[in-house]
Amino acid sequence: MIQEKILVVGANGQLGSVLTKKLQECYGIDAIVASDLNVKANFEGVFETLDATDSEALKSIVEKYKVTQIYHLAAILSANGEKAPLRTWDINMQTFFNVLEAAKNCHVKKVFYPSSIAVFGNNIQRENTPQNSILNPSTVYGNSKVAGENWANYYFEKYGLDIRSIRYPGIIGYQSLPGGGTTDYAIDIYHKAINHETFECFLAESTKLPMIYMEDAIRATIELMEAPAANITLRTSYNLAGMSFTPQELYESIKEIYPDFKIVYNPDYRQQIADSWPMSIDDSQAQKDFNWKPQYDLKMMTEDMIKNLESIKNINELACTHQ
């Protein structure tokens, strides 16, 4: 059996930081090479400082460690991307091209590419959005993800590169702070709740969007990557569903634990982005091809988020008292 050597590009991000730890658990700490612009404090494992826009630097790491799989997670997200569209396009596309070329030229076995519900636009069926919907995104981030999906399929068809992808809904987790995405209100709201602060929501109360809990997102990613190649029928990207809810429904689930929690609604430019996205997702192809099934619903997620965030808060407060 060939020993896997897995490179995570963008390991410091919301998804990357959690995925790196899970991959270390699955394959062994020395089998995972984490990379990003800077190493995080207290990071355990193998880390390489990397600017993924530097193709030679990326290729040298792949060659140095004889990398067999690459998880490419570096990107500028939807809301932040609208502040600098051309820079977002350049960074999102160049980093992916560098990964594709390094994988092709260095005989990497598998590549993971994260896509997003941002690939969809206003012309879609918004409830139970089909896998094969027309992709006409409203953001530069979404445009870069559509292009990436098509390039992934091209490298599979042209070069036989085993590249796999998921269209993530909004990912919610306690492990990191919001990272500049339109769905990140659903992370920030929990932080405000445990600190007994009023939450100002940048989306309207009835804005229904597809979401997924971090634990489910990580599991789906690894299940996809570990599935037999013969099972993978989509080489663009798989729709993935967890749960769908509105800000008001999320707020009410938190009020079950914090009855005095308050929310105010002040929609901004992110409302227009959210209004172009699906409200729920048809992920039947993922269910069929790699047996995907979420484990968390809204109630379970809220209970787990608050339990973990309260625990982190207590640890931090205890540490402060001993300084």
Catalytic positions, written as ranges: 141
Q: Hey, is 35 helix, strand or coil? A: strand
- Give the H/E segment covering residue 186: helix 185-194
Residue 174 phi, psi dihedral angles, 5° rounding: -90, -10
Rounded Cα distance between 295 and 29, Å, is 26
Q: Residue 10 has which token pair?
A: 């963008």
For residue 196, the cross-strand partners are: none
Rounded Cα distance between 236 and 153, Å, is 5
The answer to whether the beta carbons of residues 39 and 48 sit under 8 Å apart is: no
- Taking CA atoms, 16 is separated from 70, 71, 139, 194, 292, in Å, by 12, 9, 22, 25, 20
